[in-house]
Chains A and B, each alone.
Chain A
Amino acid sequence: MNSAVVVFPGSNCDKDIAYILKEYYNHSVDFIWHKNSIDRNYDLIVIPGGFSYGDYLRSGAIAKFSNAMKSLKSHIDKGARILGICNGFQILTEAGLLPGTLMRNKNLKHICKNIYLKKGSPHNQLTRNLLEDSILEIPISHSEGNYFADSDTIKHLEDTNCILYKYAIDNPNGSVEDIAGITSPDFKIAGLMPHPERAIEEWAPSMDGKKFFENFFQF
């Protein structure tokens, strides 16, 4: 697979996800600087974690005007898959590519720890091979991960099987319906707050990120 990772000033998880895609999933990976538009065709375009543009104004708000993000829409039309992790999820919501928004954590703190995830919508295709009672232990690291959308939007997400993962056992940030990640109705665009790319290698406290990517790439 050909993948691209978009890099903004302030991105800091770009190298991590590129390394994981290359080493564990045999992707060729190009980095796309935010000032450039995405010219080649890719199977997967990742919007990585970090603090794009210093999180100024609102997390992810300024990134949507970059050339890379403006060119993203044509790649979506051509069938590319998009994965936004953490700040990448915030950027996708700010750009209107996924509904809702990520608000300040309910406890107002930056939370950096391993949390537990369970399946979201029963028929979301990115978790279709995951058992109903599966629990994934994945790290989070964010201040604005409190997913919010109005009740009509949440109902629509549920009706169209767009809820990717929910927090299990404990909701760390106060997100509505314990939502940790969502997808577009065709499952091509996915965004989540947790960092599966940080739970792959043997030295990591959890290797459940592999379960995330196995399910992600089975679609």
Chain B
Amino acid sequence: MYLGKVNISLKKSVLDPQGTTVMKAFHDLGEKSVIDVRIGKYIEVKLNSSSLEEAKEELDRLCKNLLVNQVIETYQIFIERDEK
């Protein structure tokens, strides 16, 4: 079994009002070192694939088909063996 981890973030060209609001909250708290905040999503997918390579391909397909909206989002995937 494999554990796929997906990090989804808004493209740099897309405004993130949620991130901006959090950044402003930091500034209100006096956290002056914060210059930007971007909020994304983290998703774990367990895969019953036969190899690491296959798991990677499958997860990439799942991202493109459903998990990610490529109009506004980009993603990174990580795969590890999951023995549990």
The interface of chain A, by Cβ under 8 A from chain B, is: 57-58, 61-62, 65, 93-94, 100-101, 103-104, 106-108, 148-150, 174
Counting CB contacts under 8 A, is B71 at the interface?
yes
The reply to whether B18 and A104 contact each other, CB–CB distance below 8 Å, is yes
B66 contacts A65, CB within 8 Å? Answer: yes
> CB of B17 within 8 A of chain A?
yes
Whole-angstrom distance between the Cβ of A218 and the nearest chain B Cβ: 32
Q: How far is the CB of A104 from chain B (nearest CB, A)?
A: 7
Contact indicator B66/A103 (Cβ below 8 Å)? no
**Chain B min CB distance to A191 (Å):** 14
Q: Mark B35-73 against chain A: 1 for CB-CB distance below 8 A, else 0.
A: 000000000000000000000000000000011010110
Supply 24 A–B pairs (Cβ within 8 Å), ascending by A: A57-B66, A58-B69, A61-B66, A61-B69, A62-B66, A94-B69, A100-B71, A101-B69, A101-B71, A101-B72, A103-B14, A103-B72, A104-B17, A106-B15, A107-B17, A108-B18, A108-B21, A148-B14, A148-B71, A148-B72, A149-B71, A150-B71, A174-B15, A174-B17
Give the Cβ gap from A193 to chain B, nearest Cβ, in Å: 16
Residues of B within 8 A of A108 (CB): 17-18, 21
Provide the bound-state CA to CA distance between A94 and B69, in Å.
8
Q: Is the interface of B mostly helix, strand, loop or mixed?
A: loop
Which residues of A lie under 8 Å from residue B72 when comparing CB positions?
101, 103, 148
Residues on A with C-beta less than 8 A from B18 are: 104, 108
Q: Is the interface of A mostly helix, strand, loop or mixed?
A: loop
Q: How near does chain A come to B63, taking the closest CB pair, in angstroms?
A: 12
Q: Identify the 5 closest CB pairs spanning chains A and B, nearest first.
A: A101-B71, A106-B17, A101-B69, A108-B17, A101-B72
Complexed CA–CA distance, A150 and B11 (Å): 11
* Assembled-state Cα–Cα distance A101/B21 (Å): 22
Within 8 A of A (CB), among B1-35: 13-15, 17-18, 21
- B13 contacts across to A, CB distance below 8 A: 150
Q: A101 vs B14: C-alpha distance in the bound complex, in angstroms?
A: 12
Complex Cα gap A93–B67 (Å) = 15
In the complex the two chains form, what is the Cα distance from A108 to B13 in whole Å? 18
Q: Which residue of B lies closest to A96 (CB)?
A: B71
Bound CA–CA A57/B71 (angstroms)? 15
B residues less than 8 Å from A106 (CB atoms): 15, 17
Contacts of B69 in A (CB 8 A): 58, 61, 94, 101
A179 vs chain B, min Cβ distance (A): 14
B17 & A57 in contact (Cβ 8 Å cutoff)? no
